Amino acid sequence: MGEFVQLEVEDGVGTIRVDRPKMNALDVATQEEIRAAAHEAAERDDVAAVVVYGGEKLFAAGADVKEMSTMSHRDMVERSGKLQSSMTAVAEIPKPVVAAVTGYALGGGCELALCADIRIAADDATLGQPEILLGIIPGAGGTQRLSRLVGPSRAKELIFTGRFVKAEEALAIGLVDKVVPAADVYNESVAWAKRFVGGATLAMRAAKEAIDKGLEVDLATGLEIERAQFASLFATEDRTRGMASFLESGPGKAEFVGR
């Protein structure tokens, strides 16, 4: 377990909990602990889905600007790849991942939320990529993941201005997927994650990889990725169980074993 990031597992749901007072600023140590927690969540068989959570008050207010201000060009050339890959470790968890967004999710915090498959936000949450106000740009995936999520024009407007986005606007533009009362964010996120406990884990892994990898390539290549993933599942016990259960009892009653 890390000093600032914990992986807590209960009833098949893993929570990656960021807890670095006061604002969950993502310094180098916290970035590396996020990476470690993501890798552990990916590998553990008792984790079917993952919630990324910063606590009741806020998700993460951004990178540790005080730490970054001391870094030279050479320092950041050496660090920037590791910064990106620490966030990508969350995006590459081969299981459903939901970001439970409370309070502020700004800069690196917003980029961390973008690594989840969906985002459930508090009605008083605030998101944004304000790096331009520091004379820099998002460096942990924001220019790429935000534009893929909300479209290039909206992403440019948000990144060029650095403005903050309230929950209702975030929902309207597709930056978040659901807005709930602040007190309900974590429970709603866990409830979403629990839907996948006992599910067809190999098929979900294949679906996530087909979607994510397919977004990076042209349609023909994406279709080939889908075809290969689809065909591969016919070698699994879960496929046999799922189809046999459907033929005998109808949909939704199969008991999967992850093989």
Q: Confidence class of residue 136 from pLDDT cuts 50, 70 and 90?
A: very high
Mean pLDDT of 110-132: 98
- Asked if 99 and 119 count as a contact pair (C-beta separation under 8 A), the reply is yes
pLDDT of residue 160 exceeding 80, the answer is yes
Mean pLDDT of 227-240: 96
Burial class (CB in 10 A: 0-12, 13-18, 19+), 116: buried
Identify the active-site residue in 2, 103, 108, 242: 108
Q: Which domains does the chain have, with CATH numbers?
A: 5-194 (3.90.226.10), 201-249 (1.10.12.10)
pTM of the model: 0.94
pLDDT of residue 120 exceeding 90, the answer is yes
What pLDDT is stored for residue 150 in this prediction? 97
The tokens of 227 are what?
């075809």
Identify the active-site residue in 121, 131, 167, 200: 131
Residue 235 corresponds to which amino acid?
A
Tokens 């914990």, located at residue: 6
pLDDT of residue 92 exceeding 90, the answer is yes
Whole-number mean pLDDT of the chain? Answer: 96
Identify the active-site residue in 25, 37, 111, 254: 111
User: pLDDT, tens digit, for every residue of 10-49?
Assistant: 999 999 999 999 899 999 999 999 999 999 999 999 999 9
- Specify whether 3 is catalytic: no
- Specify whether 250 is catalytic: no
- Specify whether 108 is catalytic: yes
**Which residues face 10 on adjacent strands?**
13
- Asked if 173 and 115 count as a contact pair (C-beta separation under 8 A), the reply is no
What pLDDT is stored for residue 20 in this prediction? 96
Q: Confidence class of residue 154 from pLDDT cuts 50, 70 and 90?
A: very high
What pLDDT is stored for residue 1 in this prediction? 74
- Specify whether 63 is catalytic: yes
Identify the active-site residue in 38, 41, 63, 105: 63
